Every structure is written in C-alpha cells, then in structure tokens.
Amino acid sequence: MKKKKADRVSVREAIKLNIRAIKTVYGGRRKLFLLQMSKTAFAALTPYVEIYLSALLIDELTTTRSAERLTSLVLWIIGSAAVIALVQAILNRLHAVESSQMWEHIHHLFGKKMLSMDFVAIDSPSTHTLASKIRQNTNGGGWGLDRIVWQLDNVWSAILKLFGGSALIVTLFTSKVESGSEVEFLNSPFVTAGVITLMVAITFASPLLSAVGGRIYAQASGRHMLTNRLFGYYGWFGIREETSVDSRIYDLRKICDRHNYDKTGTFHSKGFFAKLNKGKLGLVNVLSSITQSLFTVLIYFYVCLKAWGGALSLGGITQHVAAINIIAGSVRGILSTFSDMRNNAFFLVDTFTFLDMPNDMYQGTLTVEKRRDREYEIEFCNVSFKYPGSEQYALKNVSLKFKVGERLAVVGQNGSGKTTFIKLLCRLYDPTEGEILLNGINIRKYDYRDYMSIFSVVFQDYSLLQLTMGEVIGSKSDYDRNYATACAVDSGLGEKLESFPNGIDTYLGKDYVSDGLEFSGGERQKIALARTLYKNSAFMILDEPTASLDPIAESEVYSNFNNIVGDKTAIYISHRLSSCRFCDTIAVFNEGSLVQHGTHEGLLEDSNGKYHELWNAQAQYYNAKD
C-alpha cells in the first residue's frame, strides 16, 4: 500500500501539475491552442447533425414517405456531409501546420534548460539520470508533457459530446408510452429516475475500473523503462558502428538474445506484464469491458421497451441509441482521462523537478575588458576544490600566476587534477576555497558569459556536430567563410580541404546527408583545433585532445598549434611531458596539488622532484626527440 501512495500525488497537486503542464506546452502558442479547440469541437459536435438528420429520414420512410420531404432530407444529409468534410479538412490542415512544431517545442524546453544550467548540474550524474528517466518514460509509456496534448483533446471532445448528446436524449425520458400498454409503468418518474441512476452507475463503473488498471500500469513504469532501455541498447547492438565489429568477432548476439528473446523478459509470454495481465490487471480490464457491455444491453432494452409502448418512432430509436452511447462514451472518456491525468502527474513531478533546477552559480556583472594588447593576468590564490557530493579534495591549496602570451604546460599523471584546474580556470566550477583573479579581480564578479568568451578549449572528449565543416568551425550558421577556411588551413587541413567534394561545406558524417564524409581521428582533431582558432580568444587551451595518439604524434600536434596561436596564452594539458618542452613554464600536479612550477630545464635539475621522476619514466618514448 505504501508503494501505491508513493507512486501517486494528491488530487490537488495533480490539478496544479496538469494546469502548469498545459501552460508549459501551449505557452506562447495561442493560435495552436485555439485551432486545436476548434478542430476538436467541430469533430465532437458534427456527428449529431448526421444522427438527427438520419432519424428524420427514417421516420419519413416509415410514415408518410413524401417524395418532396425525402428529397429535401437527402439533399440536407449530402450537403451537410460535404460542408462538414470540407471544414474538417481545412481545420485539420491548419492544425497540422501549427502542431508540427509542438513536439520540437516540448523537447526544446529540455534542451534549452540543459544548456542554461550551471555546469555543476550538467556534470552531475543525478541530472543525467533524471533526464534519462524523463526521456524513457516519454518514449516507453508516453508519460510526461507529451501526454498533455491528447489528454486535453480527449477531455474537451468528451465534454462537448456530452452536452450535444444530452440535448438529443431529453425526449427519451420525457416521452410517454401509450395508456394501457403493458409497459405503462415506464411512465413512472421513479422508474425513469431508477433507469437514469443505473445508467450513470454503470457508466462510471467502467472508467473507474480502467483507472485502477491504468494506475497498476503506471506503477510498473520503472520496470517498463528499464526494459525499453535494455532493448534500445541490445536490440540495435549489432548494427551500431561502434559495436558492430566486436559483435561479430566475439559473437555477442548470445548476450543480446538474453535480453531480446528470453520468454521470462518483462514483455514476453512468461514475463512480468504477462503475469500482471493474468492477475489483478487482467481482472479489472475484464470487469471494465463487462460493465460496458451491460450498459449497451440496458440501453437497447430500455429504448426498445419505450418504442414497444409507442413512445418512440423507428427514427427515434436510432437517434436515442446513438446519442446515449456517445454520451456514455464521453463520460467514460472524461473519467478515464482525468484518472490518466492523475497518473501522469506522478511523471510530471520529475519533469518539473528537472525544469525547476536552480542555477546557484553567481553570474557577476562586470564586463571583461577587451584589451587589444591582451594584457590579462590570471592568478590562483590558495585554491582548493571538492566535487559536489565528494569529501575528497580534487585540488588542494593551488597558487599559480600566469599572463597572456605565455605558454603554460600543465602536466601530471592521470587523476592528478589537471582537468579540474582547467574547469576552475574556465569557471565551469567555482572553487570550494580560495579565489581566482583576472587582473586582480575575483572572476566571480565578471559577467559569466563575458568571462567565458575569453577562453577557447579543446577537451579530451570534445564533440563535433554533424554539420558542415564551416558551421562546426564557426560554431554558427552565419560564419565568416574566409576566416573559417583560413583557420582550417592553419590547423593543418589545407591539402585535405581541397580534396573534399564540397570544400568547407562538406558535412561531417552521413547520418543526415548522403554526401557527408567520415573523418579520421586526426582530421577531427584538426577541425577541433580550427574551431578553437576561429573563436580567437585570449586564452587557448588543449586539454589532452590527442591522448589517443602516440607521444611523437602528440608532440607534433602541440608544436604546430604553438606556432599558430600567436600572442595568445596557450595552455597545454598532458600526462606526456615531451609534448610540452617548448612551454615557458610547466606546472606539475600530483594527487590534486601543485608540487612544482618552473621551466623544463630547471625542473629536470631537481632530481628529487616529481617532474624528474615522470620525465625519466617516460623517456623511453621520446629519447629520440630529446
């Protein structure tokens, strides 16, 4: 019982969440909202026109059979059907145009939120777990913001059908059977009240039972989500580029089969949902279907009795049976949708938890002076840092000063704190203790975006979008083609650029265009370097983007990059010391601390120092370069 309560929210909270979801989905899209309401209203009410006209036609066929009257009714039916179809087509077309961007709008909300978050939140595994959970719930069970669209549509349609149908069935209960008829007791107000009560009770019973089933299904969303994730990975394992070779060499299909063909799997014949449908879920679904059938039996029985007693014509029978079924379906639809909205509210909690994540990093207001002489000075003042949730210091008491124009190498073994140093420098994180100064001012006081604009970084795990090379280098669509080309040439892509079929307009990859190219690792690194050059920032940083290369190749990349950075500050991060011998100063990190700082020659002279130890340990790889 506790689990069920944990998987649901209160009615009041569910109402608030759904109202907010509707505002979120339709916010700023008034035209779409009005079109959807109009389209739904038209579709909900126009069937009653056909029902009413059909009833009149049947009555005429079974009574006077006036040719003139029949012709008029047929023309009305044909004409109304044509007008309804035309208007419906126009509304559908207009709505389709407006709604085509709806799904992009919903997913844009999450993308925009992710891009605007503090990097602390983006870098947190819990944030990605929550985002993945939301995505899986949407893709698997259709829960979340996406569900709001059809829920709102269903409720609005059902309400309109309810009112429209009610207007047509008034005569069912007000018409009197003939005096002396065997069913004259149907004229009693108590009988009428009893029939209405019974109809309402059965009408409510079916959706309430369905709601129980829906709640059971929603409570199993965790298992549903996990299974979808496993299938999404193992179901396509063999055809993914990065796994296809291993899949064939090691015959990994057996591992995939365990998740895809196991009969005890979640969705298989002996799995969790199969057992669920044989148990409580199956029972409530059967009872829901039975109550709907009982309602149909009751409707036909009551209407036929009234017709037998002379209260209804043949056309009246058609009209009232159709109208009552629509009304009952509308009531069931309203109740089922409201229940579904309450179940969905549980998933909306995750959605708004994600969208409401606060940005705690102070943004600052000072403008970074754009100096033509690029005279900037960075100083770390006794800086220490712990990653969120960790009790261990990633950096401890780091003090370091360097100026624009210098070449600084940051070296050390893996896990020594090199990348953490760069993340603090670029203000992806703020120090736990101490401060970082730019020209004597704490970097927290500078406008966040403005401060970040003075850095260009190529991280070890850099990513390149599958856009044209020019767009990737320029990081925008309206880039300077000549400058982007010059940066590509400077990064070492000159000869290759001439051989590309579309030059600077060549796409990276073939996922979206057939004439794109698959670039080698070295070529991608050069494109990343060109992107760094294009930004033309005062500080240019290479954070081990060439770690996959051998020491000699890495040293060549760093040396070439050093020749083209000009008067900018270049910071090189590497655990290979040979790559950074040309730098003015070298900062040596070990276990989160800055243990040495000086020139290559000076550091080598200290035989007891960490740099001397690392240099001699790696000497076998680059003695030829020494």
Cβ neighbours, 10 Å, residue 344: 28
Q: Judge residue 116's burial from the number of C-beta atoms within 10 Å of its C-beta, 0-12 exposed, 13-18 middle, 19 or more buried.
A: exposed
- Taking a C-beta distance cutoff of 8 angstroms, is the pair 330, 158 a contact? yes
Mean pLDDT of 545-567: 67
CA torsion sign for 438, 440, 445, 447 is negative
Looking at per-residue confidence, does 558 or 24 come out higher?
24
Residue 605, pLDDT above cutoff 70 = yes
Q: What pLDDT is stored for residue 437 in this prediction? A: 93
In whole angstroms, give the CA distance from residue 473 to residue 503.
13
- Taking a C-beta distance cutoff of 8 angstroms, is the pair 436, 355 a contact? no
Of the spans 120-124, 434-438, 576-580, which averages the highest pLDDT? 434-438
In whole angstroms, give the CA distance from residue 396 to residue 410.
15
Looking at per-residue confidence, does 65 or 344 come out higher?
344
In whole angstroms, give the CA distance from residue 591 to residue 330.
68
Q: Which of 439, 458, 405 is nearest to 585 (CA)?
A: 405
Mean pLDDT of 400-421: 86
In whole angstroms, give the CA distance from residue 546 to residue 572.
11
Instruction: Please provide the DSSP assignment of 557-625 as one string.
Output: HHHHHHHHSTTSEEEEEES-GGGGTTSSEEEEEETTEEEEEE-HHHHHH-TTSHHHHHHHHHHHHHGGG
The two structure tokens encoding residue 267? 């969705």
- Name 569's bridge partners: 539
Q: What pLDDT is stored for residue 3 in this prediction? A: 41
Instruction: Please provide the DSSP assignment of 373-416 as one string.
Output: T---EEEEEEEEEE-TT--SEEEEEEEEEEETT-EEEEE-STTS
pLDDT in tens, 116-144: 888 888 888 888 888 888 888 887 778 88
Residue 81, pLDDT above cutoff 90 = no
The two structure tokens encoding residue 155? 């409720």
Pinpoint the residues of the chain covered by CATH 3.40.50.300. Answer: 465-536
pLDDT in tens, 202-256: 766 766 666 666 666 666 656 666 666 666 666 666 666 666 677 767 666 667 7
- Tallying the residues shown for the chain, one arrives at 626
Residue 290, pLDDT above cutoff 60 = yes
In whole angstroms, give the CA distance from residue 173 to residue 436.
82
Poorest-pLDDT segment among 260-274, 471-485, 579-593 = 260-274
Residue with tokens 């339709």: 26
Q: What pLDDT is stored for residue 1 in this prediction? A: 33
Mean pLDDT of 143-172: 80
| pLDDT > 70 fraction of the chain, expressed in percent and rounded | 81
pLDDT in tens, 28-39: 778 888 888 888
| pLDDT > 90 fraction of the chain, expressed in percent and rounded | 9
Cα 133 to chain centroid distance, Å, stands at 10
Kindly report the pTM of this predicted structure: 0.70
pLDDT in tens, 462-507: 888 888 888 999 988 888 989 999 888 888 888 788 888 788 888 8
Poorest-pLDDT segment among 110-114, 228-232, 315-319 = 228-232
Q: Which of 571, 573, 579 is nearest to 626 (CA)?
A: 579
Looking at per-residue confidence, does 321 or 464 come out higher?
464
Q: What pLDDT is stored for residue 225 in this prediction? A: 62
Tell the CATH topology of 465-536: Rossmann fold (3.40.50)
Residue 382's pLDDT band (boundaries 50, 70, 90)? very high
In whole angstroms, give the CA distance from residue 233 to residue 258.
13
Report the mean per-residue pLDDT for the chain. Answer: 79
The two structure tokens encoding residue 544? 């081990």
Per DSSP, the three-state class of 458 is strand
Q: What pLDDT is stored for residue 268 in this prediction? A: 59
Looking at per-residue confidence, does 295 or 260 come out higher?
295
- Taking a C-beta distance cutoff of 8 angstroms, is the pair 109, 24 a contact? yes
